[in-house]
Amino acid sequence: MADRYANFANSGLGRTVVKRLGLPDPPRLRRYRPGDPVAAGPVLLGAAPGGRLAEPVAKLLENAGVRVAGTGAAGTKHAALIFDATGIADSPGLRALFDFFHPYARDLLPSGRVIVLGTPPGATAGPKEATAQRSLEGLTRSIGKEFGRGVTSQLVYVEPGGEESVESTLRFLLSGRSAYVSGQVIRIGAGAAPAPADWEKPLAGKLALVTGAARGIGASIAAVLARDGAEVIALDVPGAGDALADVANRAKGRALQLDLTAGDAPSRLAGYLAAGPHGGVDIVVHNAGITRDRTIFKMDESRWDSVIGVNLTAPERVNDVLLDQGLIKPGGRIVGVASIAGIAGNRGQTNYATSKAGVIGLVQSTAPLLTGRNITINAVAPGFIETAMTAKMPIGLREAGRRLNSMSQGGLPVDVAETIAWLASPGSATISGNVVRVCGQSLLGA
């Protein structure tokens, strides 16, 4: 499962060989370890005149122990460049981006962070401002492809009224938790998001259900949610047996064997949760998913039905039952797992891509219905992640998938898990209907 080439290229001898031969040079990504500071060094914070986010962001960073530098300190090595672009009201005003990034771009540390804060185009005063704010996406996506060395680049749209709810997102993006998230557009809504009592244990007191938890990405989700303080129910099909028990034990949680495609499974799950000490559940992660690849010429109906059934219909049915019975508690979080294939389509995966595009539809269509209940629903969309599944791919496809992204390497299951943990956090209360790719800014897209 490991990316042996990346390990080699980051070894002493490997570095020399890679450099001499001009081979791809995947940087070693900075990943989060408990106790890490919020940022890996001083952060440069800039703003276009009239912005509404620089001030609250400066305050929250300082409270979080981050050293915030103003512009003018060229030569300092920065862990992040954060730019408040909400003051940009028209296209000539975009010049402020050049003025900020041109002089300081070279001073970013490896695995540095670029974060541009904007206003969602739909929430602006008119088309001039909407156009300029929409332009930001071209900049952040280009920077993600330009900077290399493990630097990530994101655009964070904050609705007016959401200024005090950006902390969970900034902490996630600044940290090594977001090592493999780049080139994304994140939308934070208006309203207040409660800060957790302890940012190291933001999920303390929460009960989390993770489906497909016996292996790979699901096992990592269970582990990360537990690390962040949640009590975890690790669910998988009967037969996952020992592997599932191991995951549950390591997470100090419970194992639950259930085939969610069975007719009565959602209501059995509901009964289990209702009878538990929490009387419901706080976090539901629909991670269970299967592939049954064939071109549509060669596909049979069982491959179609099983993939749609497991990946899309089962999460829909589980949501329905749990929401109808009020078992997802206020402050609840639902997180789906889509895929780049669901965004871009993929040869040999009409069934899988259809199901994963559906997960995006599920999230986007359900989010507005849950706002009043204080429940969010979002999805992550993994790109090439190093798992037993990707290890079995033909070598050409595998190496292309690994290298054709801004990190020049595949991601790890923990990268997906960290992204889910951020969305599950109490501080992410105003983030709903988002689809966040965990793909190292893969070239593939739509």
Taking the complex as a whole, the smallest distance from the CB of residue 156 to a copy of itself amounts, in Å, to: 15
CA distance 325 to 156: 34
CA distances from 332 to 71, 286, 338, 400 (A): 40, 14, 20, 38
Q: How far is residue 331's CA from residue 66's CA, in Å, rounded to a whole number?
A: 28
- Sheet architecture: strand order including 328-337: 254-257, 231-236, 207-211, 281-286, 328-337, 376-382, 435-438
CB of 67 vs a copy of itself, minimal distance in Å: 24
- Taking the least distance from each CB to a copy of itself, the nearer of 144 and 253 is 144
Binding-residue total with a copy of itself (CB under 8 A): 76
Alpha-carbon distance of 41 to 78, in angstroms, equals 6
Q: Which stretch binds a copy of itself (CB under 8 A): 16-24, 132-140, 325-333, 425-433?
A: 132-140
Which of 312, 337 has the CB closer to a copy of itself? Answer: 312
Taking CB under 8 A as the rule, does residue 106 contact a copy of itself? Answer: yes
Q: Work out whether 143 is an interface residue with a copy of itself (CB under 8 A).
A: yes
Binding-residue pattern over the window 75 to 94 for a copy of itself, x denoting contact by CB under 8 A: ---------------xxx-x
Instruction: Find the binder of a copy of itself among 1, 64, 69, 105 (CB under 8 A).
Output: 105
x/- string (CB under 8 A) for a copy of itself, residues 363-402?
A: -xxx--x---------------------------------
- Within 10 A of 321 (CB to CB), how many other CB atoms are there? 18
The verdict on 357 binding a copy of itself (CB under 8 A) reads yes
Given a contact cutoff of 8 angstroms between Cβ atoms, the answer to whether 212 and 236 are in contact is yes
Contact between residue 247 and residue 214 where contact means Cβ atoms under 8 Å apart? yes
What residues from 265 to 324 belong to the interface with a copy of itself (CB under 8 A)?
A: 295-297, 299, 301, 304-305, 308-309, 312-313, 316
The answer to whether residue 139 forms part of the interface with a copy of itself (CB under 8 A) is: yes
Nearer to a copy of itself, 168 or 351 (CB): 351
Q: How many CB atoms lie within 10 A of CB 128?
A: 15
Q: Which residue in 379, 292, 388 sits closest to 337, CA to CA?
A: 379
How many angstroms separate the CA atoms of 114 and 140, rounded? 8
Residue 33 binds a copy of itself, judged by CB under 8 A = no
Q: Which stretch binds a copy of itself (CB under 8 A): 135-143, 203-211, 221-229, 422-430?
A: 135-143
Position 356 contacts a copy of itself (CB under 8 A): yes
Among 30, 78, 113, 141, binds a copy of itself (CB under 8 A): 141
DSSP 309: I
Q: Which of 121, 191, 271, 280 is close enough to bind a copy of itself by CB under 8 A?
A: 121
Rule CB under 8 A: say whether 325 interacts with a copy of itself: no
**Residue 135 binds to a copy of itself (criterion: CB under 8 A):** yes
User: Please, are residues 208 and 281 in contact by the beta-carbon 8 Å criterion?
Assistant: yes
Nearer to a copy of itself by C-beta: 49 or 126? 126
Residue 165 binds to a copy of itself (criterion: CB under 8 A): no
- Residue 169 is a binding residue for a copy of itself (CB under 8 A): no
Q: Choose which of 28, 31, 67, 128 interacts with a copy of itself (CB under 8 A).
A: 128
Q: Do the Cβ atoms of 416 and 221 come closer than 8 Å?
A: yes
**Residue 429: which of 374, 361, 362 has the closest Cα?**
374
Q: Give whichever of 227 and 333 is closer to a copy of itself, judged by the CB atom.
A: 333
Closest CA to 80 of 66, 62, 94: 66
264 in contact with a copy of itself (CB under 8 A): no
335-354: contacts with a copy of itself (CB under 8 A): 341-354
Q: Is 25 in the site for a copy of itself (CB under 8 A)?
A: no
- What's the chain's Rg over C-alpha atoms? 22
**DSSP secondary structure, 147-215, as one string:** H-TT-EEEEEEE-TT-GGG-HHHHHHHHSGGGTT--SEEEEE-SS--PPPS-TTSTTTT-EEEEESTTS
Between 141 and 206, whose beta carbon lies closer to a copy of itself?
141
Asked whether the beta carbons of 350 and 299 are under 8 A apart, the reply is: yes
Q: Give the shortest CB-432-to-a copy of itself separation in angstroms.
A: 13
Report the run of H or E that residue 275 belongs to, with start and end. helix 265-275
Question: Shortest Cβ distance from residue 213 to a copy of itself (Å)?
Answer: 23
Shortest distance, position 256 Cβ to a copy of itself, whole Å: 24
- Catalytic residues, by residue number, are 352
